Amino acid sequence: MSELWGVLEEHLPEFSSGLWVTFRLVAASLLIAIVVGTLVAAMRVAPAKWLNRLGGVYVETFRNIPLLVLLIIMFAGIRRGGLLIDPWVAAIASLGLYTAAYIAEALRSGVFAVGKGQIDAALSLGLTYPRTMRRIVLPQAFRTVIPALSSLVIAMIKNSAIVGASLVALPDLLKQARQVQADTFQTGEVFFWAAVGYLLLTVTATIAFRYLEQTYAIKR
């Protein structure tokens, strides 16, 4: 038992810096994912057929490719192509674009839940299509899909560990834990505290989303 605390005491800087890197990675990727996801969702419900198709191709591509393969393409692949991409950029872009596909699908279901009547009403009042989306549909769609977004953010926190384990090797929580393990050989203790770190993040996200849900969600 004392060993358990000893590891934490001695290596707290590594663990906390790892946790901070994981947090920043998730936050930045979430931002990208929401922006791109909203655009793709808007494409998927747009009146133009070719936009629907394009959005569909995006979603099916990024939803069915393993994140690890995406990271290799984004980092090693692009570097080999001659562009010296920064590890952070590669990691955030991969995780963000990957999750964007799921967010787009969630939002699309939210848009369908808003109802055609409202869209027709807005259009007949003379609002343009982008404006209808931005002012009428998307605000409601977001509020409908808060529970789904909560699942996605938790999945994202878990997926962020793949970044530290892959060749991108940002010093995130998992990477730091492996480093401490390699130095101390206290496998059980080190992984216990890393697990606590991940559970801390997922539980915080769950609580935050529960609050958002109670305050803003539209029940259907």
The site for another protein (CB under 8 A) is made up of 59-61, 63-70, 72-73, 76-78, 80-82, 102, 105-106, 108-109, 112-113, 145, 147-148, 150-152, 154-155, 157-162, 165-166, 174, 178, 181, 187-188, 191, 194-195, 198-199, 202-203
Q: Are 164 and 71 in contact (CB under 8 A)?
A: no
**Closer to another protein by Cβ: residue 43 or 161:** 161
Instruction: State the minimum distance, in angstroms, from the CB of residue 49 to another protein.
Output: 15
Q: Which is nearer to another protein, 132 or 160 (CB)?
A: 160
Which residue's CB is nearer to another protein, number 32 or number 98? 98
Q: Shortest Cβ distance from residue 2 to another protein (Å)?
A: 20
Specify the DSSP element, H or E, that contains 210: helix 187-216
Nearer to another protein, 139 or 188 (CB): 188
| Integer Cα distance of 32 and 100 in angstroms | 8
User: Minimum Å distance from CB 220 to another protein?
Assistant: 11
CA distances from 113 to 95, 116, 147 (A): 27, 9, 14
In the bound state with another protein, the residue whose beta carbon lies nearer, of 195 and 207, is: 195
Residue 195 beta carbon to another protein: minimum distance, rounded to whole angstroms: 6
- What CA–CA distance (Å, rounded) separates 79 from 152? 29
Q: Shortest gap between Cβ of 73 and another protein (angstroms)?
A: 5
d(CA 152, CA 40) in angstroms, rounded, equals: 16
Residue 63: CB minimum distance to another protein, A: 6
Backbone angles phi, psi at 28, to 5 degrees: -65, -40
131 versus 182: smaller Cβ distance to another protein: 182
H-state helical runs in the chain: 2-44, 49-64, 67-72, 78-80, 87-114, 116-124, 129-132, 138-144, 146-165, 173-184, 187-216
